[in-house]
Structure 1
Amino acid sequence: MKKIISLLILLCSIGSIYGQSFTIASYNIRLRTQVDTGNLWMDRKDKVGNLIKYHDFDIFGVQEAFKDQMNDLQKMLPKYAYVGVGRDDGKDKGEHSAIFYKKERYTVKKNGTFWLSATDTESPNKGWDAALPRICTWAVFLDQSNGKEFILMNTHFDHIGRVARTESAKLMLQKAKELAQGLPLIICGDLNVNEQDEAYFTLANSPSIQDTYELAEFVYEPNSTFNGWGKNIQKKSRIDHIFVSPAFQVKKYAVLTDTYLGKYPSDHFPVVALLDW
């Protein structure tokens, strides 16, 4: 009996030492607006929630999530908790670039939000030539399956300001260095640029992170990550991205093209990566 117990303990310890897999996703869920006739949040919110449940993301970042949408997600996804604040007041108002995580697996060690700005990263403001205030929410997580820590940063770059996007990428790398302190790093979000833009190159060509799309052993990419409610689907174009530091092995990458009755849960498709570490 003692030998069996010892063997079980050994097997558990080997599993925790030599790695665990998890899925990380980035999902722009599209804000709630009456402009979206035929695609109102009240009609599609259950589809967003069920998509997340079915694909069983371990941890994911959202963009364009306003407080009422955050509340809806929490009700639909009781296994998850989140960190994040609204960009307009640092509390509840405006878009959240929040991070949801499975409560049973992850513990938040510390977290915060900063504004993408050259002048003030600590309070609401617009940076460079941005049309709107933009934020990055980050958290240091303890993965209870193996006792390791990592940092995840989730963001949504401006849709108008070209300078703002490039400078935001530079700021993200600067902040990552300050906040990570050597921890394994993940950066995800809607960058509002594809893989041919300077802002993308700033991140993808940095020495600290690489695009999971490029690293993945297997890629499922039926089409672009932005769908425009079916009106703007391209064969290839990724504006939603996940980057990781060398501590992670990328087993799979996918653009998830789930639909319902010929409609889309959001005007973006979620992107997801399966990571080993």
Structure 2
Amino acid sequence: MLKSLLILLSISLSTFAVMAQSDALTVATFNIRYDNPNDAPDTWENRKDIVANLILFHGFDIFGIQEGLFHQVNDLDKRLPNHRFVGVGRDDGGEKGEFSAIFYDHQQFQVLNSGTFWLAPETDHPNKGWDAALPRICSWAKMVAIGSGEHFYVFNTHFDHRGVEARKQSARVILEKIREINTGSLPVILTGDFNVGQETETYEQLRTAEGMKDSFDAAETVYANNGTTNSFDTSKSTDRIIDHIFVSEDIEVRKYGILTDTYHGRFPSDHFPVMAVISW
């Protein structure tokens, strides 16, 4: 009898542990590097399977990419059978230019609404803002978790690499748009390559925004032994983090990690993906 009770208790505890993890969601941001033939041998043709397998292995439920051209987005779409994506090219609002696409596991989540706005004084059409070198965008999606019915928003962006004022103003625009779009005060996930480190005013602008926090600060477990860029050079390293995942105050962050995976002494991209395990 005692042995039977112990077995039942063990099964119950195991079931509880599984149930406790079932509400966990793995989100990520990943600058996959645009398809540049001058990157040889680190061309997209050599990296696309590696990038897709990295995503599958680490189990990204929802993730934002940066720098993906239309064919790169489609390459990932083909290699991630359970994922769908939303987003448009920044140059024409269609297929031209880099995407800040949001990929999601369509077996777990449904997109209820989505869109893209430009990081510029005029947010509704392709244009450059302030001192930016290039047009910059933020794509977003309102989603519902199929199992729990939880509604939430995901925003994904890529700030300009040159314009200091553009980055500052881009942060302001995104925070304003989040308030404008998220009228129901739902949970928010904001991912991206912000091209700003944790020492900058623009980063502080985002980290200290009302109702928001950096998953790096909030995580129960942090695995960040490197910065987030590598320039495809394994002989150098940095501690500077410019790719971030911000979340609403009402989201619990269980884990945060910068994934420095390699293959045959090479990197899958010139940025490392940043991953967070969160729950409502």
TM-score by length of 1: 0.92
Give the match's secondary structure for 1:85: coil
Q: Tell me, yes or no, if the aligned pair for 2:229 and 2:238 is still in contact at 8 Å.
A: no
1:69-148 to 2 correspondences below 5 Å: 69-118=72-121, 120-148=122-150
1:145 deviation in Å? 2.2
Counterpart residue number, 1:193: 196
1:234 deviation in Å? 3.3
> Structure 2: how far apart are the matches of 1:275 and 1:179?
22
1:195-234 to 2 correspondences below 5 Å: 195-230=198-233, 233-234=236-237
RMSD, matched Cα = 1.7
1:19 deviation in Å? 7.5
Q: Tell me, yes or no, if the aligned pair for 2:133 and 2:161 is still in contact at 8 Å.
A: yes
1:233 deviation in Å? 4.4
> Structure 2: how far apart are the matches of 1:176 and 1:32?
30
> Structure 1: how far apart are the matches of 2:237 and 2:262?
16
Give the match's secondary structure for 1:169: helix
Runs of 4+ in 1 over 3 A off after TM superposition: 231-235
User: What amino acid maps onto 1:81 in structure 2?
Assistant: R
- 1:229-272 superposed Cα distances (whole Å, 9 cap, x missing partner): 12684342100000000121000000001100000000000000
> Structure 2: how far apart are the matches of 1:276 and 1:190?
23
Give the match's secondary structure for 1:104: coil
Q: Percent identity?
A: 48
- 1:112-169 superposed Cα distances (whole Å, 9 cap, x missing partner): 0000001x10100000100000000000000112111000100000000000000000
Q: Tell me, yes or no, if the aligned pair for 2:234 and 2:265 is still in contact at 8 Å.
A: no
Counterpart residue number, 1:8: none
> Structure 1: how far apart are the matches of 2:100 and 2:128?
16
Counterpart residue number, 1:56: 59
Query: Which residue of the other structure, out of 165, 169, 178, is the alignment partner of 1:167?
Result: 169
> Structure 2: how far apart are the matches of 1:233 and 1:194?
18
Q: Tell me, yes or no, if the aligned pair for 2:228 and 2:273 is still in contact at 8 Å.
A: yes
Counterpart residue number, 1:3: none
Instruction: Point out where structure 1 has 5 or more consecutive residues left out of the alignment.
Output: 1-10
Counterpart residue number, 2:70: 67
Distance change >3 Å, CA 126–CA 35, structure 1 → 2: same
Distance change >3 Å, CA 117–CA 97, structure 1 → 2: same
Instruction: Point out where structure 2 has 5 or more consecutive residues left out of the alignment.
Output: 1-14
- 1:157-186 superposed Cα distances (whole Å, 9 cap, x missing partner): 000000000000011100000111211111
> Structure 2: how far apart are the matches of 1:253 and 1:88?
33
